[in-house]
């Protein structure tokens, strides 16, 4: 009987220790948790960001240090963020939204979920990437190219159609446009600007193009040598891997590629508008832009030099109009999915 007691107390004690360790870590957060749940508290800024994670964290730390304001950040893909915003419609939580898809951001503006703000430094930011009424600003962009494995590939591909050649059979992949906003942007921009685009895509399919996974997964396949190249590879991911010593390189075909802007906007029902404005200003400031270039992205402010990568002016670009793109993208996606069914 007594041994039974001891056993029970040991278990309870262990459990309690776990709970307390968890709780003590939670205490400081719990306080701010209560704050964000009540509508009247204004000190916390809630940011929903599509990343990249490293950059989002650095921006958060730098902002908190500079202004002393606290940020609560939810990180996820563009799709997940949109889903969460939709679910929270009756009880909005987010103040600032940072998305990786220009079309989706424009869609948010169209459905009246953003508010306009004349940010500082707005004139320095690339106008093609931002909304002329100030609803969102393209604080960064990523260029989409062909990322390939330098160990397996001796002749880098030069044109999009190169990948239909026999030496690439079953050796290339592409992120799934239904999962990857940038892949969808790529298909949208490519087929919009180039009349022969669908034919090329068809030829890729015949050559065994594998379409699956999000951006990182497709790139991982190339890094581990499973595939030789990724079409619509995201540049900053490739550059980061390259800087880590991985055998990967990215090229942009001369016929032009899509540069996909990533923008920031303030939610219409934001509770903490003042800090939200400060955050947008921070992203567009020289300091914020420097952090952007550190993450191997293209900065919205052209004056800031890029970090160890191809600059915007050296990337052959396709003309893409992002206004009203959301609706058109649905049709493109359906056509693409039907083709690859």
Of 222-281, binders to other proteins (CB under 8 A) are 223-227, 244-248
Q: Which of 145, 157, 213, 288 binds other proteins (CB under 8 A)?
A: 213
Cα 47 to Cα 74: distance, rounded to the nearest angstrom: 6
The least distance separating other proteins from the CB of residue 314, rounded to whole angstroms, comes to 25
Residue 87 or 313 with smaller CB distance to other proteins: 87
Number of H helices, E strands in the chain: 11, 11
Contacts of 276 (CB under 8 A, 6+ apart): 45, 95, 96, 266, 267, 270
Q: Closest distance between other proteins and the C-beta of residue 305, in Å? A: 24
Q: Is 14 in the site for other proteins (CB under 8 A)?
A: yes
Binding to other proteins (CB under 8 A) within 174-193 occurs at 176, 178-179, 181, 184
Which residues, 46 to 65, sit near other proteins by CB under 8 A? 46-48, 51-54
* Contacts of residue 215, Cβ cutoff 8 Å, sequence gap at least 6: 175, 180, 182, 183, 233, 234, 237
Does 169 help bind other proteins (rule: CB under 8 A)? no
Residue 111 lies near other proteins (rule: CB under 8 A): no
Whether the upstream peptide bond of residue 52 has omega within 30° of 0, thus cis, is yes
324 counts as binding other proteins under rule CB under 8 A: no
Structure tokens at 39: 């509508």
Site for other proteins in 277-316 (CB under 8 A): none
How many residues bind to other proteins according to rule CB under 8 A? 76
Cβ atoms of 178 and 333 within 8 Å: the answer is yes
Residue whose CB is less far from other proteins, 23 or 127: 23
Closest CB to other proteins among residues 110, 194 = 110
Using CB under 8 A as the binding rule, whether residue 39 contacts other proteins is answered as: no
- What residues pair up with 260 in beta bridges, in sequence order? 142
Q: Does 36 bind other proteins (CB under 8 A)?
A: yes
> Could you give the CA distance from residue 67 to residue 81 in angstroms, rounded to a whole number?
26
């Amino acid at each position: 009987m007594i041994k039974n007691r001891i056993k029970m107390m040991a278990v309870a004690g262990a459990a309690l220790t776990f709970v307390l360790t968890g709780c003590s870590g939670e205490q400081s957060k719990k306080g701010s948790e209560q704050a964000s749940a009540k509508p009247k508290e204004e000190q916390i800024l809630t940011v929903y960001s599509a990343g990249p994670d490293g950059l989002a964290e650095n921006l958060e730390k730098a902002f908190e240090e500079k202004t002393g304001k606290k940020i609560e950040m939810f990180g996820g893909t563009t799709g997940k963020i949109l889903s969460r915003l939709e679910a929270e419609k009756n009880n909005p939580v987010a103040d600032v939204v940072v998305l990786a898809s220009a079309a989706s951001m424009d869609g948010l503006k169209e459905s009246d979920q953003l508010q306009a703000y004349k940010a500082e430094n707005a004139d320095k930011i690339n106008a093609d990437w931002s909304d002329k009424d100030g609803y969102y600003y393209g604080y960064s962009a990523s260029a989409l190219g062909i990322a390939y494995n330098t160990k397996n590939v001796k002749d880098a591909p030069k044109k999009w159609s190169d990948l239909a050649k026999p030496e690439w059979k079953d050796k290339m992949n592409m992120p799934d446009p239904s999962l990857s906003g940038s892949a969808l942007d790529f298909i949208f921009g490519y087929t919009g600007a180039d009349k022969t685009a669908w034919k090329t895509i068809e030829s890729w399919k015949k050559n065994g193009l594998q379409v699956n996974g999000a951006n990182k997964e497709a790139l991982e396949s190339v890094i581990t040598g499973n595939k030789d190249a990724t079409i619509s590879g995201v540049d900053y991911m490739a550059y980061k891997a390259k800087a880590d010593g991985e055998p990967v390189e990215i090229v942009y075909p001369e016929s032009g590629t899509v540069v996909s802007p990533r923008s920031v906007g303030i939610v219409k029902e934001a509770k903490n508008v003042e800090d939200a404005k400060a955050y947008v200003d921070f992203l567009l400031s020289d300091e914020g832009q420097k952090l952007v270039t550190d993450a191997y992205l293209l900065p919205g402010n052209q004056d800031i030099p890029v970090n160890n990568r191809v600059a915007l002016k050296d990337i052959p670009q396709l003309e893409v109009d992002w206004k009203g793109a959301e609706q058109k993208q649905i049709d493109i996606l359906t056509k693409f999915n039907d083709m690859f069914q």
